[in-house]
Amino acid sequence: MDLHRWTVSGLFFLIAAFTPGSQAGVSSADPTINGPQTERVLGYGLTVIRDRYVTPVVIGNVAFEGMRGISVIDPTVTVERRPHRHIAIHYRDETIADFPAPPDNDADAWAALIARAGRAAASHSSALQAATREKFYEAVFDAALSKLDIFSRYAGAREAAEHQAARNGFGGIGVRFELHPDDIQLTEVMPGTPAADVHLETGDLVTAIDGAAISGMDQDTVSQRLRGPIGSQVVLTVRRRTGAGQVALKRSLIVPPTVAMTVKDGIATIAVSSFNSKTAASVESELRKAKGIPGFRGVILDLRGNPGGLLDQGVAVADLFVARGLIVAARGRHPDSVQSYDAHPGDIGEDMDVVTLVDGGTASAAEIVAGALQDNGRAILVGTNSYGKGTVQTVKALPNKGELTLTWSRFHAPSGYALHGLGVLPTICTTDTRASLSSLLTPVREGHGGVTANIAMWRTNSVDDQDERRELRSVCPSAQHTDTAIDADVARALLSDHALYLRALALTQQQSTASSAPSRPSGRQH
């Protein structure tokens, strides 16, 4: 598989990163936006938006919105379009500059104009004189992206480092902690990390890092001191009931765990909280353990509350269960955004019975997995309609070490429907948490309940038919089910009765779409 490191999550699993961006304060007049650096960063960002956004944009309109963002720094600075393609800059209702607008799609010329507008405003505004260059970038890019979609966003150098750490890992010791006034208390020690190797334990109190007392530090400062280059040393002063002392640790690559497995009555429940660079390998490892369970019956793949993450990891997790066939297709405007991802045979989970749990918090890469397993006849979905975040974001590094996360394609499930704004439809809907296990399984036992007709409409719906999409989503309304027991109860009943499992699996097989689909959804599923 030709997998690219694209992030597809509306919500990242964030932990404060070690590497801070350069955000020095400004003391002299107008150094914030003087020089070529400002135009270079803005020009690169605008070019990325022009060339890669999922739908065509007029970069002049995007840039004008960005220019208006200057008023976030100083609300008395305003920007106005004037006749004959001129743009005026006002300060306290006085016109202080008037510029001819560049050609609509000349990104570099618009970047130069934004910088000129900022310099003109800074010659009058003390707020702009005092603002950091980073604050100027943030104001411009946030405003420019605000008219596109909620998943396209700008991150400065520090935030970009946080995102990279969440996706790829960081140099650290492998702990989570709770901050107290004079110390931190360890709340988790991750297995196989430097902290575990030196026998740090949950509940240990750390009072100093490399001799610096924790008293007076904030959360970010503690995180920054605990993290550092891989292979570097950090010394902790640790206090526990048995005494106090110092512990030296060598930092290693830390990738936060995203996978946890529990086993009961021959059924393995594998919960995946998000998708980072180690997720697929972790799921595969747990599947190998599960296969050796005496009396093994199958897997509950719990994707409830999973906001997504790395596309390649979502594809790889689906591939663990699917021998052949399409996993997902991505379609956008830029040639590189048009991709399809196919399963390959020979993986550990291909012959396992699988029930996948989804809810309103299941999004993006998690929806790719759920949709691929359902459309390929490899899992029964139980829960509620998922979030419906079906777009791909490409992450482009900027010259200032910040990054642009930009929507550049849409996901299409194997059966062809666009996930965005629709999500995946469970075979067995548990939105009504008052429903009994028996009532939820009766439609499966009797071979009715509406899901076959509804899934047929789901798979033939047009991405442009928003009215039908809203109506389809009302069939099994989204809800947060992370701690709802009925979902797992249904899954266990299905995996404990193979004949019932096969009946439920047949309800959403793709051949059902060949029959005549009804003109309206057949009502809520039960």
Is the CB of residue 398 less than 8 Å from the CB of residue 346? no
Q: How many CB atoms lie within 10 A of CB 22?
A: 12
Question: Tell me, what's the pLDDT at 463?
Answer: 81
For residue 368, is pLDDT > 60? yes
Question: Tell me, what's the pLDDT at 449?
Answer: 64
Question: Tell me, what's the pLDDT at 2?
Answer: 35
Average pLDDT over residues 323-346: 95
Reported as a pLDDT band with limits 50, 70 and 90, residue 521 is low
**Secondary structure (H, E, C), 237-294:** EEEECCEEEEEEEECEEECCCCEEEEEECCEEEEEECCECCCHHHHHHHHHHHHHCCC
Average pLDDT over residues 24-48: 71
For residue 166, is pLDDT > 90? no
Question: Tell me, what's the pLDDT at 27?
Answer: 32
Question: Tell me, what's the pLDDT at 164?
Answer: 78
Q: Taking all residues of the chain, what is their mean pLDDT, rounded to a whole number? A: 89
Q: Which of 364, 409, 415, 478 is catalytic?
A: 364
Question: Tell me, what's the pLDDT at 525?
Answer: 52
Distance (Å, whole) CA 313 – CA 421:
22
Question: Tell me, what's the pLDDT at 466?
Answer: 86
User: Is position 123 annotated as part of the catalytic site?
Assistant: no
Question: Tell me, what's the pLDDT at 250?
Answer: 96
Question: Tell me, what's the pLDDT at 275?
Answer: 96
Q: Say which CATH superfamily domain 259-514 falls into.
A: 2-enoyl-CoA Hydratase; Chain A, domain 1 (3.90.226.10)
pTM: 0.77
Question: Tell me, what's the pLDDT at 66?
Answer: 98
Selected residue with higher pLDDT from 523 and 366: 366
Question: Tell me, what's the pLDDT at 127?
Answer: 95
The two tokens of residue 379 are: 């899992």
Q: What's the first-to-final CA gap in the chain, in angstroms?
A: 39
For residue 173, is pLDDT > 90? yes
User: Is position 289 annotated as part of the catalytic site?
Assistant: no
- 308-312, 335-339, 507-511 — which is least confidently predicted? 507-511
For residue 65, is pLDDT > 80? yes
For residue 26, is pLDDT > 50? no
Reported as a pLDDT band with limits 50, 70 and 90, residue 241 is confident
For residue 524, is pLDDT > 70? no
Average pLDDT over residues 474-488: 93
For residue 169, is pLDDT > 90? no
Average pLDDT over residues 268-290: 97
Distance (Å, whole) CA 372 – CA 368:
6
Reported as a pLDDT band with limits 50, 70 and 90, residue 13 is very low
Distance (Å, whole) CA 396 – CA 51:
12
User: Is position 396 annotated as part of the catalytic site?
Assistant: no
Q: Which of 389, 409, 478, 487 is catalytic?
A: 389
Average pLDDT over residues 434-442: 94
% the chain with pLDDT above 70: 89
CA proximity to 236, closest of 211, 267, 269, 265: 211
Q: Which residue has the tokens 């002299």?
A: 28
Question: Tell me, what's the pLDDT at 34?
Answer: 67
* Residue extents of the structural domains in the chain: 36-155, 170-254, 259-514
Architecture of domain 170-254: Roll (2.30)
Is the CB of residue 398 less than 8 Å from the CB of residue 44? yes
CA proximity to 141, closest of 73, 54, 93, 86: 73
Q: Which of 106, 353, 359, 375 is catalytic?
A: 375
Question: Tell me, what's the pLDDT at 510?
Answer: 63
pLDDT in tens, 104-145: 999 999 999 999 999 999 999 999 999 999 999 999 999 999
Same fold across 170-254 and 259-514: no
